[in-house]
A and B are shown apart, each in its own frame.
Chain A
Amino acid sequence: QVQLVQSGAEVKKPGASVKVSCKASGYTFTSYYMHWVRQAPGQGLEWMGIINPYGGGSTSYAEKFQGRVTMTRDTSTSTVYMELSSLRSEDTAVYYCARGTRDGYNYRTDYWGQGTLVTVSS
C-alpha cells in the first residue's frame, strides 16, 4: 500500500532553515511527482511546489516561496526533501508531502504524508 512517512517535528529560530523529509513506499518512486503543501495553525491549505523524482529532479515552486524553498530527492532511498530557509514566525505550520498522480497534463494529489509540524520561535 502507498505510504508517505515524514520526519518528526522541528523547532527553529527565526532566520534558520529547516529540512523535512518524506519517505515513499508501496509504489514506483520515480513514476510519480511529489507535492508539498503547508497548513498554518487553524488555517487552510497552501501549495508550495512540486518535484519530479525522475531524471534530473525538476521542480516548480509557488512564486511566494521562490528563493526560499528547495525540493530535492534521493532515488536510492525513495525520499524527497523540502528545505525552507530564512524562517519567520509566519512559517509555523504543518508541512505535508502529497503524491502527484498524472491526470492528463496535470498532477493531482492523492496520497498524503502524516504531516510535520515546524515551529518557528525565538
Chain B
Amino acid sequence: AQSVTQLGSHVSVSEGALVLLRCNYSSSVPPYLFWYVQYPNQGLQLLLKYTSAATLVKGINGFEAEFKKSETSFHLTKPSAHMSDAAEYFCAVSGDTGNQFYFGTGTSLTVIP
C-alpha cells in the first residue's frame, strides 16, 4: 500500500527566504510522486512530478523536488519565497494498481512580507 506523510501542517517563511516543504512516502513498489498546490477556493494544480527519470525534478513557479530513495523522501523546495506562493501544498503518491492518488494532509505555506 502507498501513503505519504507531510511533516508540518503549517510553515511560515519570510519573503525571499528558502521554502522547504517535507514529504516522506511509503510504498511497496517504486513510487510515482506528485506535488500539487491549492489556492483558496480553487482546485489542485500540478507543480511537478517524479516518474522514475531524473531524481531532481523541476516544476513550475521555480519549485523543485528531489527524490531520495534512501530517505524515502520527496521534499519540495524553492530558493526564494514570493508572496504569491502562499497556498496549501499537497504531496501525493500514485497507486501501484493504477492512477489512484494517495494524498498527504497538506502543508499550509504562509509568506511573511
A binds B: no
Interface of A with B (CB < 8 Å)? Answer: none
Interface of B with A (CB < 8 Å)? Answer: none
